[in-house]
Amino acid sequence: MTDGFVGSIASFVIEGDTEVTYWIDRSFWGRGIASRALGLLLELNPVRPLFARVVSDNIGSLKVLQKGRIRHHRNGGFVRQRPERGDRGNDPPP
């Protein structure tokens, strides 16, 4: 695939809930990388349930979380709005 960095995944505890977070470089979207990374994280992390937050229009991430049977957070799991990033879309800020 590549020898470079394509993304990251982690779990952490916040307010007593274990949440999952991940980021995949846009040029690698649609290749199953997030789904595979989540599957590996689920194998390594025995904590259940796991929660996640996602922007409501991020269909790709919603599908990844659904495949992994990750629950939406108590507030519905949706981030209220996507931060302004100009033309950068979902890419992290510089």
- Kindly report the CA angle at 2 between 51 and 70, in degrees rounded to 5? 10
Please write the tens of the pLDDT for every residue from 52-71. 988 878 889 989 998 998 87
16: left (phi over 0), alpha (psi -120 to 50) or beta: left
Residue 83 confidence (pLDDT) above 80: no
Residue 12 confidence (pLDDT) above 90: yes
- Distance from chain centroid for Cα 31: 15
Q: How far apart are CA 78 and CA 89, in angstroms?
A: 17
The burial of 52, by beta-carbon neighbours within 10 Å (0-12 exposed, 13-18 middle, 19 or more buried), is given as: buried
Residue 4 burial (CB count, 10 A): 7
The pLDDT score that the predictor gives to residue 85 is 47
**This model's pTM is above 0.85:** no
